[in-house]
Amino acid sequence: MKRGKLAYITIPEAVRDHFAGYDFLPDPAIPLPVEIPPDWGKFEAENLSPEMFLAGMLMDLAENPGGQHSAYYRKLVTAVKPGILGELQGAAMLKARNGDYPAALEVIALLEGLYPRHPGLLLSRALVLEEKAFAAARTANSKEAERAFGKAEAAYEQSLAFPLPDTLFSAGLFYERREDYRRASDCLRAYLESGEDGPRSGETSPGNGVEDKKIRARKILEEIRGSGLDNDVFLEALTLIRQNREEEGILKAKEFLEHHPGSGRGWFVLGWGLRRLARWEDGAACFEKALELGQAYPDIRNELAICRMESGDLDGARRELEKALHRDPDNVKIISNLGILALKRGEDDKAAAFFRTVLELEPGDPIAKAFLPA
């Protein structure tokens, strides 16, 4: 959304009367910022509304949080809108859930001017950037995804300067999703030690948010410890493969599995390295083992489908991709692979439909552009 410009004017008497019922009254000697919309036309002071002054003060605080009248603007806004933090914070998270990440971050930026270094806002920013990063990871644009993850990680580092229970819990989940198991363990252990209250006396735990979070944190920690995911050898294998040093990574993954043969994620990492070296059958066997051990997340089936496809088992590849898509219906990589599979089967119309869907979700996707029939 295109923002208007700020104008600083003495508040008109009619607007000043609107604030009469509040504890903190405007000082007529201090000009207030007001947002003038781009399509406003001729500027008329009598057409200004109290809401425009509130929006203007929020914009001023976001752009210049240490300005001459910042403390005054903060007092006035919070006097008129005492619930503004929760109201706008909820609006930002709703926009993020709907995939409108720029708008969500814009709202959070406005609130950060009003409440500088507020721990809840630092966490909200991290959560929005996390969802934006994982949305990017579902596309084929790995560079964009890595940039997004870098911003999300930086936001979590900032939020962890104020290690509230919610921050520790959310950071633990983020690092676990990122396969940074050591950081995940540190955050989740700190969360469990934080003393966040559980159910009150007489309450049962099912449905209680705090208790559910504690159960989830313990479960993740048990999996990490039980599967050795914070083991140096496992982490080294993961890092080596990410650095395109597959042969070394495979050796480390095998070394890890000698001591942790029941680690589904260990088998996934080994399969991932083998698949990247075009060892389709060996990679498929590892992904099947990971699934057998209960690792059912969509990336495993997507990777297994690639191995099936390259080995000539097109029906098997389709089954795996359909199962993966059922779990993650907006995953661009999965939809793109369904398009590639349709091309291999000579189903050009189906392929075109899949690639059109990809471009609806990710307009710049290079694979869809390259394969989509003219």
Q: Is 33 helix (H, G, I), strand (E, B) or coil?
A: strand
- Tell me what pLDDT residue 268 has: 94
Q: Which residue has the higher pLDDT, 8 or 278?
A: 278
Q: Residues with Cβ < 8 Å from 116, sequence gap 6 or more?
A: 65
Which H or E run contains 107?
helix 101-114
Residue 207 has pLDDT above 50, yes or no: no
Residue with tokens 């990710």: 362
| Partner residues linked to 34 by β-bridges | 7
Q: Residues with Cβ < 8 Å from 77, sequence gap 6 or more?
A: 54, 57, 58, 61, 84, 114
Q: Confidence class of residue 193 from pLDDT cuts 50, 70 and 90?
A: very high
Give tens-digit pLDDT for 277-293: 999 999 999 999 999 99
DSSP collapsed to 3 states, 138-192 = CCCCHHHHHHHHHHHHHHHHHHCCCCCHHHHHHHHHHHHHCCCHHHHHHHHHHHH
Give tens-digit pLDDT for 329-373: 988 899 999 999 999 999 989 999 999 999 888 887 888 888 875
Q: Residues with Cβ < 8 Å from 295, sequence gap 6 or more?
A: 264, 265, 267, 268
Asked if 368 and 330 sit in the same domain, the reply is: yes
Among 80, 95, 117, the domain boundary falls at 80
- Tell me what pLDDT residue 156 has: 95
Residue 191 has pLDDT above 60, yes or no: yes
Residue 227 has pLDDT above 60, yes or no: yes
Is 222 inside a domain boundary?
no
Residue 240 has pLDDT above 80, yes or no: yes
Residue 208 has pLDDT above 80, yes or no: no
Asked if 76 and 12 sit in the same domain, the reply is: yes
Among 266, 295, 324, the domain boundary falls at 295
Is 128 inside a domain boundary?
no
What is the overall mean pLDDT for the chain?
86
Among 295, 330, 351, the domain boundary falls at 295
Residue 165 token pair = 């229970």
Q: Which residue has the higher pLDDT, 29 or 269?
A: 269
Asked if 12 and 75 sit in the same domain, the reply is: yes
pTM of the predicted structure, to 2 decimals: 0.76
Q: Smallest Cα–Cα separation from 354: which of 327, 321, 323?
A: 321
- Tell me what pLDDT residue 41 has: 60
Give tens-digit pLDDT for 94-148: 999 988 999 999 999 999 999 998 999 999 999 999 999 988 887 766 778 888 9
How many distinct structural domains can be found in the chain? 3
- Tell me what pLDDT residue 88 has: 93
Structural domain harbouring 337: 313-374
